[in-house]
Structure 1
Amino acid sequence: MEKPVNADEFVDRFMVGSMEHLRHQLSPVKIFRLTEIAPYLKIPIPPIFLGYNLLVHLTEGYFEHQIGPKVYVVKAPAVLINTYGNISAIRSVDTSAKGHCVLVNDSAMTSIFREQEILNIFTVSPLLNLSTEGNSSLDKLFGLLYDELHTETPYKELSESLLKSLLLKIIKLSASNNQLNRRQEIAMMFKQLVHKNFKKEKNISFYADRLAVSINYLNRCVSSVYNKSSKELILEVLVMHSQLLLFESTRSIADICYELDFPDPSYFSRIFKKIVGISPTTYRKNAK
Structure 2
Amino acid sequence: MENKSKIRIHRSKFKGLNIHIKKVQSTNSCEWIKYAHRDEHFIFYVQQEGLTELMIDFKDYQMNGKTFCFICPGQVHYYIRQTSPKGYFIFIDSSYLKNEYRSTFENHQNLNQINSVLNDSLFKLISLIADQLSISTTDIGENIIRSLTDSLIGIMVLEIKRDEKQCQGAIDRKTELLSQFRNLVRKHFEKFKKPNDYADMLNISVPYLNQITKQQTGYTASYWIQQEILLEAKRLLHYTQLSSKEIAFSVGYDDYAYFSRFFKSNVGITPLEFRKNYLDLSNLYY
TM-score per shorter chain, which class? 0.7 to 0.9
The equivalences for 1:24-63 within 5 A come to 25-35=15-25, 38-42=28-32, 44-46=34-36, 48-63=37-52
Q: C-alpha displacement at 1:7, in angstroms?
A: 4.2
- Partner residue, 2:131: 147
**Are the aligned partners of 1:272 and 1:278 in contact in 2 as well (CA < 8 Å)?**
yes
- Partner residue, 1:259: 250
Q: C-alpha displacement at 1:256, in angstroms?
A: 0.9
Sort the Cα spacing of 1:181 and 1:24 in 2 relative to 1 into closer, same or farther, 3 A.
closer
Identity %: 23
Q: TM-score, normalised by structure 1?
A: 0.79
Q: Quick one: distance in 2 between partners of 1:232 and 1:123?
A: 14
**AA of the residue aligned to 2:17:** S
Q: Quick one: distance in 1 between partners of 2:85 and 2:218?
A: 37
The equivalences for 1:226-265 within 5 A come to 226-265=217-256
**Are the aligned partners of 1:38 and 1:96 in contact in 2 as well (CA < 8 Å)?**
no
**Are the aligned partners of 2:7 and 2:240 in contact in 1 as well (CA < 8 Å)?**
no
Q: Quick one: distance in 2 between partners of 1:214 and 1:234?
A: 16
Q: TM-score, normalised by structure 2?
A: 0.79
**Structure 2 segments unaligned to the other structure (5+ residues):** none
Count of residue pairs brought into register by the alignment? 265
Sort the Cα spacing of 1:117 and 1:255 in 2 relative to 1 into closer, same or farther, 3 A.
closer
Is 1:97 paired with 2:78?
Answer: no
- Partner residue, 2:71: 82
Q: Quick one: distance in 2 between partners of 1:27 and 1:91?
A: 26
Sort the Cα spacing of 1:152 and 1:37 in 2 relative to 1 into closer, same or farther, 3 A.
farther
- Partner residue, 2:184: 193
Q: C-alpha displacement at 1:122, in angstroms?
A: 4.2
- Partner residue, 1:283: 274
The equivalences for 1:172-191 within 5 A come to 172-174=158-160, 175=162, 176=164, 177-178=166-167, 179-191=170-182
- Partner residue, 1:17: none
**Structure 1 segments unaligned to the other structure (5+ residues):** 9-22
Match of 2:96 among 108, 111, 114: 108
Q: C-alpha displacement at 1:237, in angstroms?
A: 1.0
Q: Quick one: distance in 2 between partners of 1:24 and 1:186?
A: 31
The equivalences for 1:134-173 within 5 A come to 134=119, 136-151=120-135, 153=137, 155-173=141-159
**Are the aligned partners of 1:39 and 1:96 in contact in 2 as well (CA < 8 Å)?**
no
Deviating more after overlay: 115-124 vs 96-105: 115-124
